[in-house]
Amino acid sequence: MEKTIGVTETAPIPQQRGEQLLDHAVRYTEERHWDVFAGTWLEHAEGRELCSCGAAACAAPGAHAAVKDWAAVATGSAVQVRRVWGKRPDASILLPTGRTFDALDVPDTAGFLALARLERMQRTLGPVTLTPDHRMLFFVLPGAAAKVPDMVRRFGWSPSAIDLKVRGEGEYVAAPPTRVGGRGAVQWARRPTPANRWLPDTDELIDALAYACGREAAAERARRSA
């Protein structure tokens, strides 16, 4: 069974540091068969790091789409990836969702609780990212957006009452080791390995995730009323 972040790991792909973004982008296309596209990047100006988009209050500096037609330029070709990052080696790595995977997006406190629960139950797990904005994204098979609301209700929760989002068709996620301004880099809480090449379906994870998000929501309500 794989171990989660914070524990020494020996998984072969990809390493978090010491490699160029190009190397990671190529591995995602060649080893995972994921489409990727280059996003914005960070620029140094007046002692600060600013997003290449030029917005002073950018919500995701250096880690969002740089063009409107990003879906059309996303590619699974390693040759094309080398060409793109060869021209802009500091561009962020972005992965379209709704193609080879969707992502279940939850607060990291709920995510770690769910991850531990799922591992105890020996459930099938895919890659999981941890973002500098304290979110965890669980990669699952496409089609999650259509299933999640009814599944959440079936487990006794209101979809609007818990912080569980689905990143699906028409959206994208930032891939490790993309850095989000000065907040830090996107990391793997559970790395891509040959063992998790086949992704789980949403129904294999949703009970643990809904429970963890429901607990988090209840705790937040209790803190507000205290």
The identity of residue 214, as a single letter, is G
Cβ-count burial 40-61 (b if 16+ within 10 Å, e if not): bbbeeeeeeebbbbeeeebebb
Per-residue model confidence (pLDDT) at position 4: 42
48-74 pLDDT per residue, tens: 889 999 998 999 999 999 999 999 999
Integer-rounded Cα radius of gyration of the chain: 18
137-177 pLDDT per residue, tens: 999 999 999 999 999 999 888 999 999 999 999 999 999 99
Per-residue model confidence (pLDDT) at position 223: 83
Strand order in the sheet with 172-174: 37-38, 93-96, 172-174
67-101 pLDDT per residue, tens: 999 999 999 999 999 999 999 999 999 999 999 99
**Geometric angle at alpha carbon 181, from 180 and 186, rounded to 5°:** 20
Per-residue model confidence (pLDDT) at position 19: 64
Query: Is the model's pLDDT at 119 over the cut of 70?
Result: yes
Strand partners, 104: 138, 166
Q: Does pTM top 0.75 for this prediction?
A: yes
Confidence of residue 11 (pLDDT cuts 50, 70, 90): very low
Judge whether 190 and 125 are in contact, CB under 8 Å: yes
CB atoms within 10 A of CB 148: 23
Secondary structure of the chain as H, E, C letters? CCCCCCCCCCCCCCCCCCCCHHHHHHHHHHHCCCCEEEECCEEEECCEEEECCCCCCCCCCCCCECCCCHHHHCECCHHHHHHHHHHCCCCCEEEECCCCCEEEEEEHHHHHHHHHHHHHCCCCCCCEEECCCCEEEEEECCCHHHHHHHHHHHCCCCHHHCCCEEECCCCEEECCCCECHHHCECEEEECCCHHHCCCCCHHHCHHHHHHHHHHHHHHHHHHHHC
13-25 pLDDT per residue, tens: 334 343 699 999 9
Confidence of residue 217 (pLDDT cuts 50, 70, 90): confident
